[in-house]
């Protein structure tokens, strides 16, 4: 895996690596012997001129016992790959599967399946760029090096990441379009639950009503995430009185006996992620088709399109 950069301002090599390429000192140290300028190894304190070409061969130093595939069980299952290049892997995550192992689940996770696939490319670390809840399906992105993962945070504004979800919520929503801006905080005395709370972190969710099913009393929404708080869509939709169908965490206690009537999990799917590639600068759009359980709800004969 290589990174190429053409110098546009006279500066020390070390400064360019840290300020222009956003490399941490750890990454620079790991790759130091594989950093060339115009094909020649140069000291990091040397001045470079405009037009000089820096070539970095990225290496990830992981002790044998710390490699992901040695810590957790390998699961040899076929991945539904939506996009892949030298730096990134995007897969379609099914529902009922966590992204990463935890103390309660070491084997049945997406990372357990991704690990042996990446190991064949000599990538032994799992670096998650976009996460999804266990029962949320759709686009999930992994980086093939921690430096690539870090760039998604360090260059967040430049990458212009846009996430689009499709969800089905209880009730008939009257407003065809709404922006919800309510802070979210972890609920007191709970590790999992979140709630709208003035002491929480800023959160912004935008939705558009796509279809309505008055017979079964649900609405189908396109949702755009402008921030990425834990359970954000689930919390915000519950807050406005329209919890996701099948969501057993944020449905009212009095309604939970009917929670799985139409779908066996929360009806939430990440169907599109758009961003500027952190290395190539190309515009990337990754799309995931709807899984059958949500597709069945969408295609119900009682669903009617909302006039735009």
DSSP bridge partners of 105: 102
Based on the fold, state whether residues 111 and 10 are members of the same structural domain: no
Q: Are residues 118 and 198 in the same domain?
A: no
Reading the block at residue 147, the tokens are 């430096």
* Annotated active-site residue in 133, 135, 247, 300: 133
Give the pLDDT of residue 62.
Answer: 75
Residue 176 and residue 70 share a domain: no
The answer on 78 and 40 residing in a single domain is no
Q: Are residues 297 and 167 in the same domain?
A: yes
> What six digits make up the tokens of 173?
């929503």
pLDDT the model gives residue 258: 65
279 belongs to a structural domain: no
**pLDDT band, very low/low/confident/very high, at 185 (cuts 50, 70, 90):** very high
Predicted pLDDT of residue 113? 93
Q: Lowest-pLDDT range, 58-67, 139-148, 208-217?
A: 58-67
Q: Which pTM was predicted? A: 0.90
Q: What is the CATH number of the domain that holds 33?
A: 3.10.290.10
Tens-place pLDDT, residues 108-132: 899 999 999 999 998 988 899 999 9
Do 298 and 228 have their domain in common? yes
Reported as a single tens digit per residue, the pLDDT across 92-101 is 999 999 998 8
Rounded to 5 degrees, φ, ψ at 219 are -125, 145
pLDDT over threshold 70, residue 308: no
Residue that is last in its domain, among 95, 120, 154 = 154
Identify whether residues 240 and 295 lie together within a single domain: yes
User: Would you state the torsion angle of the CA atoms of residues 60, 65, 67, 73, taken in this order, to the nearest 10 degrees?
Assistant: 180
pLDDT for residue 210: 95
Q: How far apart are CA 40 and CA 169, in angstroms?
A: 59
**Pair 253, 221 in one domain:** yes
pLDDT tens digit sequence for 236-278: 999 999 999 999 888 866 566 666 778 889 999 999 999 999 9
Last residue of a domain, one of 99, 134, 154: 154
Task: Please report the pLDDT score of residue 125 as a whole number.
Answer: 86
Task: Give the pLDDT of residue 260.
Answer: 72
**122 burial level (CB within 10 Å; 0-12, 13-18, 19+):** exposed
Q: Evaluate whether residue 127 is within a structural domain.
A: yes
pLDDT, tens digit, for every residue of 53-85? Answer: 999 999 887 767 667 766 667 788 899 999 999
Which residues constitute the domain of residue 8? 2-57
293 as an active site residue: the answer is no
- Regarding whether 221 and 99 lie in a shared domain, the answer is no
Please answer whether residues 187 and 275 qualify as being in contact, where contact means their C-beta atoms are separated by less than 8 angstroms. Answer: no
- Residue 288 predicted with pLDDT over 90: yes
46 contacts: CB under 8 Å, gap ≥ 6: 12, 13
- Is the residue at 149 inside a domain? yes
Say which CATH number the domain at 300 has.
3.30.2350.10
pLDDT digits over 35-61, tens only? Answer: 999 999 988 889 999 999 999 999 887
Mark whether 124 and 171 lie in a shared domain: no
pLDDT at 226: 94
- Per-residue three-class SS string for the chain: CEEEEECCCCEEHHHHHHHHCCCCHHHHHHHHHHEEECCEECCCCCEECCCCEEEEECCCCCCHHHCHHHHCCCCCCCCCEEEECCCEEEEEECCCCCCCCECCECCCCHHHHHHHHHHCCCCCCCEECCCCCCCCEEEEEEECCHHHHHHHHHCHHHHCCEEEEEEEEECCCCCCEEEEECCEEECCCCCCCEEECCCCECCEEEEEEEEEECCCCEEEEEEEECCCCCCHHHHHHHHCCCCECCCCCCCCHHHHHHCCCCCCCCCEEEEEEEEECCCCCCEEEEECCCCHHHHHHHCCCCCEECCC
Asked which of 132, 154, 176 is the last residue of a domain, the reply is 154
Tokens (6 digits) for 287? 């799309």
Q: How many CA atoms lie within 13 A of 271 on its CB side?
A: 15
Q: Give the number of domains in the chain.
A: 3
Lowest mean pLDDT, pick from 158-172, 198-212, 240-254, 272-286: 240-254
Please report which confidence band the pLDDT of residue 12 belongs to, taking 50, 70 and 90 as the band edges: very high
């Amino acid at each position: 895996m290589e990174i190429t950069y053409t110098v546009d301002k006279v500066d020390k090599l070390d400064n360019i690596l840290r300020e222009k390429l956003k490399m941490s000192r750890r990454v620079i140290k790991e790759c130091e012997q594989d950093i060339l300028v115009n094909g020649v190894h140069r000291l990091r304190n040397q001045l470079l001129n405009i037009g000089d070409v820096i070539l970095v061969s990225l290496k990830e130093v992981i002790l044998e016992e710390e490699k992901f595939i040695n810590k957790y069980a390998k699961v040899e299952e076929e991945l539904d790959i939506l996009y892949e290049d030298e730096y990134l892997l995007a897969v379609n995550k099914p529902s009922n599967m966590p992204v990463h192992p935890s103390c309660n689940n070491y084997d049945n996770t997406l990372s357990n399946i991704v690990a042996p696939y990446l190991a064949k490319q000599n990538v032994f670390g799992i670096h998650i760029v976009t996460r999804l809840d266990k029962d949320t399906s759709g686009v999930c992105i992994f980086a093939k090096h921690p430096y690539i993962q870090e760039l998604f945070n360090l260059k967040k504004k430049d990458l212009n990441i846009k996430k689009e979800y499709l969800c089905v919520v209880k009730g008939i929503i009257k407003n065809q379009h709404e922006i919800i801006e309510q802070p979210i905080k972890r609920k007191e005395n709970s590790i999992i639950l979140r709630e709208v709370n003035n002491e929480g972190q800023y959160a912004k969710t935008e939705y558009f009503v796509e279809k309505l099913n008055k017979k079964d009393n649900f609405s189908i929404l396109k949702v755009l995430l402008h921030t990425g708080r834990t359970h954000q869509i689930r919390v915000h939709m519950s807050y406005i009185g329209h919890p996701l169908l099948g969501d057993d965490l944020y449905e009212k206690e009095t309604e939970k006996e009917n929670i799985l009537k139409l779908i066996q999990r929360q009806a939430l799917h990440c169907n599109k992620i758009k961003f500027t590639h952190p290395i190539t600068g190309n515009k990337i759009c990754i799309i995931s088709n709807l899984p059958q359980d949500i597709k069945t709800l969408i295609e119900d004969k009682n669903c009617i399109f909302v006039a735009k």
